[in-house]
Amino acid sequence: MVHFKNCPDPSLNANSQSHPEFSSELEHIKARMQNFIKHSVTDQNIEVTDARVTAEGEITSLLKERLDKEYFKLLSKITREVNVEDFGAVPDGRDNTEAFRKAIGNGRVKVNVPAGEYLVQGIKLPSWTTIVGQGKGITVIKLHEDTPAHEWVITNDDYQNGNRNIFVQGMSLDWNPSRQCGVRNPGGQFSSCLTFAKVEYGWIKDVEAINAGLHGIDITSPTYDHLPDTDWTKDGSRYIWIDNCVTYGSGDDGITTHYSEYIFISNCHSGNPRGTEFVEGVSNSNGIEVDDGSRHVWLLNNFTSGNIRGVEVKAHELWPASQNVHIIGHVSYRDVRAFDLRHIGHHQITDPESTTAYDVTLIDCSAIEPVFNSLYDAVTPRALVISAYKNVNVSGFTAIGDPDYDYKGNPVVALQYRSQNITINGIKIRGFKKAGVDINLSGGSNKTDYIKISNFDIYKSAPKGISIGGGLYNVNILNGTMITDNGTVGIQSPNNQATILGVQSEGYSVAASIKGQTYQQIPINLKGGIQLATTSGFAVNQTSAVIAGTGDITARGERNAVISSSGGSSTEGSRALIASSNNAHIKGNHVSRTILSSENIILEEPYTVAGGHQSIKWLLDSVRGNGTFAGAISSSLGGYGEYFESSTGQLIHTGTIVTLRGEKIAPADAGDYMLGVISETSAFISGASSFVWQGRYLTNEFGGFIYEMVTDEESGELIRVPKQNPDYDTALEANYHSRAARDEWHVVGLVGKHYVRIDETVSQGNYLTAHNGIGTKAAEGSWKVMKITSAYTSEKGYGIALTVIK
């Protein structure tokens, strides 16, 4: 449980007690800020700790508490409280610059500004200064007609040495771009409504920034450091809180930070920029921009609308990217790109990889109806874009589109340009009917990588749900629902490397297309070593598995599995399987071995399947096609048979007695040698050539295989295999048919019990000889009738007898 210390609110003086509803809201924000600092997930904890140490060396429990102490220190330093009207300021159109200068003096003052519109040529605030108006739209400070274009409405007075403890509250600041028949920012860091440059401890509350030449509110450094040798924020501002402010009509960004740290922006609205800082049609004017070199920035409960980017966390090519930025409860409405994270100049594979774009969180944020904007024609609407950044956590994100709006086939969410290690949990997307895909994970040389998407809902949105690019192998998609109308593909991937689990879809013509295979339901696809339904065990390799086992079973090698086994059964090498066994082991760095239903055996030979109890009792050799058995082989059929080819190339009917005609067979006649009978009941059959042409492998003069040693493609070990015939044509393999499938080849029963066609002379117990392939009674011989199974009939021209051949 989180406990919050009861710290005073730095934004309030005694007057806050007269506004209980405002105080309550600030207390809520204060509590959230305390939580974020106290439980920061950044790896820069030393800096977070240092941020809580006051100038006097006192350690506060929270950064927020330090701000509170600095605020009360500000109050204690104030020796005067004045009204600017007492120094000649009059809201009647005159230039009041001198009146403000006199009222402010050298600081240590609280300046009250009554209602009205006061024209000035810029106000410079020294340290230990508070300037307070009567509220937004009530007290207005506006730049005078004669004000130079580079001037700010309000800024601090010492950019070289810096200032501290400045408070601005309760007023509108109007940069007045229509003065002198229209002015623009002349370039550089000038022309904002309110700028803090090299300020420590600043508070900006209830301020409205109108029509700035550059930015509405800019928290910045007087100078920027370039990569790679940079001391990020040595001249930046720090410990600044911007609350309940409004900006609109800015030439560039509404609220922005540069080279500053420990910045809090809460309850603000920024929208509808003019974009005059840029060439028409390419104006990158954003609502809130956390820009070059900023660190430790919190955005809480803000709202943006009508901008090119609602919130942009970024840097330009030569500057470090903003880092450790936390965006909570933000709503973007009709911004072109609601949330955009990028480090310009570090996106392409030919660019240097960003060394600073890290650590951004978005929590409970919403992107509502992103749209095109003529301020920047080339920027396409998207709810979330992440480029170049690593370690990004998105939680509770909502994207709501307009079903009738033409998004021109663009993605809703795009993870791209070498971004990595991104977690998206609890995202909900709906209404982007005319987008291309709801979540696009870019592949190729500039691919994103290490992506985790979980607990997501896509409802009646783009034709494609999730698209995974080529070369992208580290993606987890877990626990989601995808429902749409007339969708094309739910999940699409050119490979099968993504982990997919617990995802349901409806309304897509193809639920999933994975490596070219289509599915009507999204499949479960698990990657990485897995231990499933086992009380103890180890899946050591990322492609190994132990399932339903006990007793420290272990799968060590690639493509290894130990299933339904116990007693420490283990595998090594590649492509190894043990199933339903106890204390069974596959050892050595060999390939393709299997143990089934065994106890206490060890298997080492490659390309084998074995089983046994206490020792191997049977083994199948896949290289040679041999089977070895310690016990009997039994069959319900009887007799031994062998394949022979008919001399005519035609079918010979079952039960016909045959003789040899050279190497081939024909029906036997009187006086012929009786080779055997065409049989369908031979238990053991040889000469089948079931799988390949019988002459594929070379043989010696006695018909035995000639062997050679070859190197296994996977393991690299030498194995002994039959030597292939150089005359073998692999192109004919596809059209090869085994002898069993060809009419001219017949199984001839040679020994044992077989069914034989007989004539009317044969009775039980008779010996047989042959006549036109049919058995007839003989005085003696090696063929004896056991029983008549079908009596002779003249209609068939034969009967059938079960006969023993020896």
Catalytic residue set? 642
| Closest alpha carbon to 270 in 298, 292, 242, 228 | 242
| Closest alpha carbon to 293 in 252, 325, 339, 250 | 325
Q: Collapse the DSSP code of 167 into the 3-class scheme (helix H, G, I; strand E, B; otherwise coil) and give the result.
A: strand
Burial letters 280-308, b for 16+ CB under 10 A, else e: eeebbbbbbbbbbbbbbbbbbbbbbbbbb
| Contact predicate 667/776, CB 8 Å | no
Q: Collapse the DSSP code of 14 into the 3-class scheme (helix H, G, I; strand E, B; otherwise coil) and give the result.
A: helix
| Closest alpha carbon to 411 in 381, 388, 456, 378 | 381
Q: Are strands 676-678 and 684-686 parallel, antiparallel or unpaired?
A: unpaired
Backbone phi and psi for residue 73, each to the nearest 5 degrees, phi listed first: -65, -40
Return d(Cα 354, Cα 388) in angstroms, integer: 7
Burial letters 331-345, b for 16+ CB under 10 A, else e: bbbbbbbbbbbbbbb
| Contact predicate 744/646, CB 8 Å | yes
Measure Cα distances from 627 to 21, 33, 239, 618, 737 in Å.
Answer: 86, 73, 79, 7, 23
Peptide bond into 381 cis (omega under 30): no
3-state secondary structure 602-635: EECCCCEEEEEECCEEEEEECCCCEEEECCCCCC
Return d(Cα 806, Cα 800) in angstroms, integer: 18
Q: Collapse the DSSP code of 476 into the 3-class scheme (helix H, G, I; strand E, B; otherwise coil) and give the result.
A: strand
* Angle, helix 20-38 to helix 63-77, in steps of 10 degrees: 130
| Contact predicate 682/640, CB 8 Å | yes
Helix H or strand E segment including 55? none
| Closest alpha carbon to 451 in 489, 488, 487, 491 | 491
| Total length of the chain | 806
Peptide bond into 228 cis (omega under 30): yes
Backbone phi and psi for residue 51, each to the nearest 5 degrees, phi listed first: -65, -15
Return d(Cα 94, Cα 31) in angstroms, integer: 44
Tokens of 677: 């009978």
DSSP 33: H
**Rg for the chain (alpha carbons), in Å?**
42
User: How many other CB atoms are there within 10 angstroms of residue 457's CB atom?
Assistant: 16
Tokens of 751: 């020994």
Residue type, 198: K
Q: Are strands 676-678 and 745-758 parallel, antiparallel or unpaired?
A: antiparallel
Tokens of 593: 């071995």
Measure Cα distances from 528 to 121, 241, 525, 545 in Å.
Answer: 66, 46, 10, 8
Q: Where are the alpha helices (DSSP H) in 78-164?
A: 97-104
| Contact predicate 412/462, CB 8 Å | yes
Question: Could you give the strand order of the β-sheet that contains 602-603, starting from the edge strand earlier in sequence?
Answer: 537-539, 553-555, 570-571, 585-586, 602-603
The burial class, CB within 10 Å (0-12 / 13-18 / 19+), for 444 is: exposed
Q: Collapse the DSSP code of 114 into the 3-class scheme (helix H, G, I; strand E, B; otherwise coil) and give the result.
A: coil
Q: Collapse the DSSP code of 349 into the 3-class scheme (helix H, G, I; strand E, B; otherwise coil) and give the result.
A: coil
